[in-house]
Amino acid sequence: MAERNGMVEKRGSGLWLTHLGLIIGVAFIFFPIWLAFVASTVDQQDIVRPPMPLLPGDKFFENYGRALVSGVNAPVATMLWNSLVMALGIALGKIAISLLSAFAIVYFRFPGRKVFFWLIFLTLMLPVEVRIVPTFEVIANFGMLNSYSGLILPLIASATATFLFRQFFMTVPDELAEAARVDGAKPMRFFFDILLPMSRTNIAALFVILFIYGWNQYLWPLLITTDPEMNTIVMGIKQMFPSGDDFAHWPTIMATSILAMVPPVIVVIGMQKLFIRGLVESEK
Amino acid sequence: MEKRVTFKGIWLPLLLVLPQILITAVFFFYPAGQAIWQSLFIPDPFGLSMQWVGLGNFEFLLSDRFYRASFLTTAIFSILVTVVSMGVALYLAVLADRLIKGSGTYRTLLIWPYAVAPAVAGVLWLFMFNTRVGVVTWYLGILGYDWNHVLNEGEAMGLVVVASAWGRISYNFLFFLAGLQAIPKSVVEAAAIDGARFWTRFRTIVWPLLSPTTFFLLVVNIIYAFFETFGVIHTITSGGPQQATTILVYKVYSDGFVGQDLGSSAAQSVILLVIVSILTVVQFKYIERRVHY
């Protein structure tokens, strides 16, 4: 950092203005979340008679307890569980199948390898949103509506992760595979004993990105979980709004919104280094 | 690139790729193929048979006033989301880059909204601007402004744009900050010695050197605005008022699932497929190579 301490650096009033600008930015980012938190700790009466207070009230445990245990259509605890299963299923499932196929296309010569590689390339960046109607029909025909496999499988049907692992395997020195082969190690032995431990950081970084991707899904769970007991938390929030002219029960809804944010935020902050690495690598 | 050292065997690698092949074939290629196939037919009202119409669905769509309006809405929406979130992010990144100490703290404070789902962001902003209980609405009312995004098309668009851009600032900030920190400080300092003020240095040195990051973010943000903002639109406006916020992805959903117009919805999927393919190709081909300094 020494070379950054040069003459371009602002001191005195310039420095304070810089901090001020950043603090305004942070405040803008935080404000909606702060309001949601405040709303989750006050009474419905405090909200329906605007303006609502800007400091937290004393109904924290009451509101969160009610949301978790009874919710509106289904207990939020159930929705949290569904989201967790979906996010873990997507992250782990995609990592597992991608590791295996990336290993195959990098370390073997087999018929159809080229075709397979291009098929993989085709699936890059075509989001589930553009093929929802036919995918929905497939899931319905398999009887997978309102099931975890229906939530998970269509979202792991893309090969972004395969592509990343392929790139990484290409950088692994050939000598390692050479040595393993000379020692008479079977391919799967090489995969589990050498390649997998070497990929640890990449796997973790990808896990962070995929977990958030899975947790934050909205459209797909909205379509295929008609049973409130199978709703995920992110899509379940909208279902808590009454359809008519009634007042929505804001403290419960805001408590649920906060609960929906907490797991992915913990993952991002707790694994910040891996998260940044995962982002940069999965996008570039 | 090819590996020099490989293992022998044909059945093992085929077995290894099998899970991925099966899942992608059933849940990706088959539905994508179906979308293309269905886009060439119109189902009869009872869903019993399909009538071949060739490119009829596409012709109808492209001459459809509502679909063209949706195209325009999507264009305005994605440009606004991209400009707003990249603008704010660049401003914050330039400030954070000026700090020697503390830029890491600000980074931690600024990145975590990335983890907030678009649909949740939608609910948060809906709450602030709710016509009956929203805090911002109330204070705007005090100032004499009557906010009502349920009726006013411009306000509805403004709200979904801000809610979509808000969650995206973190992502852009991270990439801009990384881009800025990669610029050699000696170059900037040389300009400072020559007497260039901050704004001149930014315009003539920093901005051009940042262009690869900027172009990359431009494409990624447009893709985001096209496809991942469904949750924001659905929670805040449901495409209204008068379809003022019905972006293309929302229309695929509302025509396909709410309106049950499968042929049209499939044709719209195909058009989206083409758009996203073009964007992907642009991202892979041009951005890495064309933007240099």
Domain boundaries, chain A: 2-59, 76-283
Query: Range of B78's domain?
Result: 64-290
Residues of B in contact with A35 (CB under 8 A): 124, 127-128, 135
Contact: B119, A218; criterion CB under 8 Å: yes
Contact: B26, A235; criterion CB under 8 Å: no
pLDDT at A208 over 60: yes
What SS3 class is residue A66?
helix
- For the segment A14-33, the average pLDDT, to the nearest whole number, is 89
Instruction: Say if B47 falls within a structural domain.
Output: no
pLDDT of residue A283: 55
Q: Is B143 on the interface with A (CB under 8 A)?
A: no
Among all residues of chain B, which has the CA nearest to that of A254?
Answer: B124
Shortest distance between the Cα of A95 and any Cα of chain B, in A, equals 11
pLDDT at A84 over 60: yes
Instruction: Say if B78 falls within a structural domain.
Output: yes
pLDDT at A1 over 60: no
Q: Which residues pair with B7 in a beta bridge?
A: A108
ipTM of this complex: 0.87
Helix axes A160-171, A272-283, angle to 10 degrees: 100
Number of domains in chain B: 1
User: For residues B176 and B142, is the Cβ–Cβ distance under 8 A?
Assistant: no
Q: What tens-digit pLDDT sequence spans chain B (293 residues)? A: 577 778 888 889 889 989 998 998 898 888 888 888 888 887 766 666 777 877 888 888 888 888 899 999 999 999 999 999 999 999 999 999 888 777 788 888 888 888 899 999 999 999 999 888 888 989 898 898 888 888 889 999 999 999 999 989 999 998 999 889 888 888 888 888 888 888 888 888 889 889 888 988 888 899 889 888 999 999 999 887 888 899 998 998 888 888 777 788 888 888 888 888 787 777 776 655 444 33
Phi-psi region of B79 (alpha: psi -120 to 50; beta: other; left: phi over 0): alpha
Instruction: Say if B44 falls within a structural domain.
Output: no
User: For residues A177 and A190, is the Cβ–Cβ distance under 8 A?
Assistant: yes
Dig out the tokens for B4 from the structure.
């020099």
Q: Which of A100, A137, A235 sits opposite B19 (nearest CB)?
A: A100
DSSP letter string, B179-224: HHHTS-HHHHHHHHHTT--HHHHIIIIIHHHTHHHHHHHHHHHHHH
- For the segment A138-165, the average pLDDT, to the nearest whole number, is 89
Amino acid at A220: W
pLDDT at A116 over 70: yes
Give the residue carrying structure tokens 């371009």. Answer: A8
Buried b / exposed e over A149-161, threshold 16 CB at 10 Å, is: ebbbbbbbbbbbb
- For the segment A199-222, the average pLDDT, to the nearest whole number, is 90
Shortest distance between the Cα of B224 and any Cα of chain A, in A, equals 10
Distance CA B202, CA B82 (A): 21
What confidence tier does A8 reach under pLDDT thresholds 50, 70, 90? Answer: low
Dig out the tokens for B178 from the structure.
């990384």
pLDDT of residue B286: 63
Residues of A in contact with B227 (CB under 8 A): 127, 129-130
What confidence tier does A281 reach under pLDDT thresholds 50, 70, 90? Answer: low
The CATH number of the domain holding residue B152 is: 1.10.3720.10
Among all residues of chain A, which has the CA nearest to that of B187?
Answer: A8
Q: Give which of A26, A218, A245, A250 to mutate to test B binding, by max B Cβ within 10 Å.
A: A218
Instruction: Say if B90 falls within a structural domain.
Output: yes
Report chain A's mean pLDDT, rounded to a whole number: 85
Residues of B in contact with A116 (CB under 8 A): 17, 21
Instruction: Say if B86 falls within a structural domain.
Output: yes
pLDDT of residue B120: 95
pLDDT of residue B45: 64
Contact: B119, A276; criterion CB under 8 Å: no
Of the candidates A17, A10, A283, A35, the one whose C-alpha atom is nearest the C-alpha of residue B91 is A17
Instruction: Say if B147 falls within a structural domain.
Output: yes
CATH fold of A76-283 reads MetI-like fold (1.10.3720)
pLDDT of residue B49: 73
pLDDT of residue A92: 96
**Helix H or strand E segment including B228:** none
Dig out the tokens for A9 from the structure.
């650096």
Q: Which of B33, B92, B253 sits opposite A132 (nearest CB)?
A: B253
